[in-house]
Amino acid sequence: LESGAGSNHGYDVVDPTRVSAERGGEEGRRRLVDAVRARGLRFVLDIVPNHVGVEVPKANPWWWDVLRLGRDSEHAATFDVDWAAGPILLPILGDDSLDDLAVEGDELRYYEHAFPLAPGTGDGTPHEVHERQHYRLVHWKRGAAELTYRRFFDVSTLAAVRVEIPEIFEKAHREVLRWVEAGDVDGIRVDHAD
């Protein structure tokens, strides 16, 4: 599945709807299954069903859409966000200052970090633009106690997916379930089934 580098867990799935291009994409997956079968082996898939990587928001299309559109995103219910608590808090700032923010096209940038702008919110100073978003960039130390989304344990770069809701489980596991139905998977190891 599509993954991106994660500072805490190596590579974390960021898009469960497709196979990572850097791992060969769907064609590479098929070649792997064929190679396993040609050697008389069985294929066991290792999955983590309840969270996705959000360290690089643009790499995760669902998270990017939620940051851009907030509650109006088609993926808003996918993540366990406490919308009543206000904007989604993203703990990435080195200090409490917003002085290093910049608006570039349809993105708000903090050094190498990029975040989407809600439609029609890109005018004004970077600080003014920031205040109009469905998220707030905050000091990284606030992540331990103040997040407005459920994460994986205490890892702020992994957002919990609400797999307890059948429709979201199906959406997040559609590819895996397709592989099982096609006979490509002989077993599944579920990591962090909590």
Whether 3 shows a pLDDT value over 60: the answer reads: no
Residue with tokens 């993954």: 3
141 versus 145: the higher-pLDDT residue is 141
To the nearest whole percent, how much of the chain has pLDDT over 90? 70
Q: Which band of pLDDT confidence, cut at 50, 70 and 90, is reported for residue 23?
A: confident
Residues ≥6 apart with Cβ < 8 Å to 99: none
**CA 103 – CA 7 distance, rounded (Å):** 26
pTM: 0.87
